Homo-oligomer: A and B are copies of this chain.
Amino acid sequence: MDKKGILAVVSGFSGAGKGTIMKQLLEEYPGRYALSISATTRNPRPGESHGKEYFFVSKEEFERMIEENALIEYARYVGNYYGTPKEYVMGQLNEGRDVILEIEIQGALKVKEAYPDTLLLFVSPPNAGELKNRLVNRGTEDTATIDSRLARAWQEAQGVEQYDYFVINDDLEECVQQVHSIIQNEHARAARNHAVIENIRTELKGFVKGD
């Protein structure tokens, strides 16, 4: 088993239950995972706090981070910057924790390009009808918002094949366990175990020549 953490991106349709899955994962496996916190230039909404939902920074600070190559990926959306600070992610990976980025598809593909061994997971309800039901049953959004979320889901669905895994969230606890085992099995990828394999090779060679 390699000792370095896995960098995993979890994306999914709005209403697929990503947030709940992440929360469960962190609760059930304390110390195993670190959830990356994005930086943004948008204003905090009521109830949001710095270092929890986001790192709230000024436009100048964000642009300095871009210049200093201190972000894994970033995007501009409705006049504001959003991005993933590199230092925290790399620190956690080096300490052996698996780091999860909860970002959307454009960001996911940028991360994969920069770090090709990133694991991309896409979470989906079993079908689109179920997605619509979940959005409607929340009761917090009006019809126009639900429609725009469904339109966005359709857009996002165009790129799903570029992900490594397509995980269906039918039963929450089963889905959490599946996300967990997909990420944990990644540690057993042959490509991530060069050092272990090389050690065994050297040891075997010693036996063959020595005996």
Residue of B nearest to A192 (CB): B166
Task: Report the bound CA distance from A169 to B155 in whole Å.
Answer: 44
Task: Report the bound CA distance from A193 to B162 in whole Å.
Answer: 12
Q: Of residues 116 to 151 in A, which have CB atoms within 8 Å of B's CB atoms?
A: 122, 124, 127-129, 131-132, 143, 147, 150-151
- Decide yes or no whether A78 CB sits under 8 A from chain B: no
Q: Is the CB of B196 within 8 A of A166?
A: yes
Q: Which residues of B contact A150 (CB under 8 A)?
A: 204, 207-208, 211
Q: Which residues of B contact A205 (CB under 8 A)?
A: 154
Taking the nearest CB of chain B, how far is it from the CB of A193, in angstroms?
5
Count identical subunits in the complex: 2
Q: Which residues of B contact A204 (CB under 8 A)?
A: 128, 131, 150, 153-154, 157
How many chain A residues sit at the interface, stated as a range, is 35 or more
Residue of B nearest to A191 (CB): B161
Of A40-48, A49-57, A180-188, the segment with at least 4 beta carbons within 8 Å of chain B is A180-188
Say which residue of B131, B161, B181, B193 sits within 8 Å of A166 (CB atoms): B193
Task: Report the bound CA distance from A188 to B124 in whole Å.
Answer: 11
Taking the nearest CB of chain B, how far is it from the CB of A26, in angstroms?
20
- What is the predominant secondary structure among interface residues of chain A facing chain B? helix
Q: Is the CB of A165 within 8 A of B190?
A: yes
Task: Report the bound CA distance from A154 to B193 in whole Å.
Answer: 17
- Decide yes or no whether A201 CB sits under 8 A from chain B: yes
Say which residue of B1, B122, B128, B191 sits within 8 Å of A190 (CB atoms): B122
- Decide yes or no whether A35 CB sits under 8 A from chain B: no
Task: Report the bound CA distance from A143 to B194 in whole Å.
Answer: 30
- Decide yes or no whether A160 CB sits under 8 A from chain B: yes
- Decide yes or no whether A110 CB sits under 8 A from chain B: no
- Decide yes or no whether A199 CB sits under 8 A from chain B: yes
Q: Which residues of B contact A165 (CB under 8 A)?
A: 185, 188-190
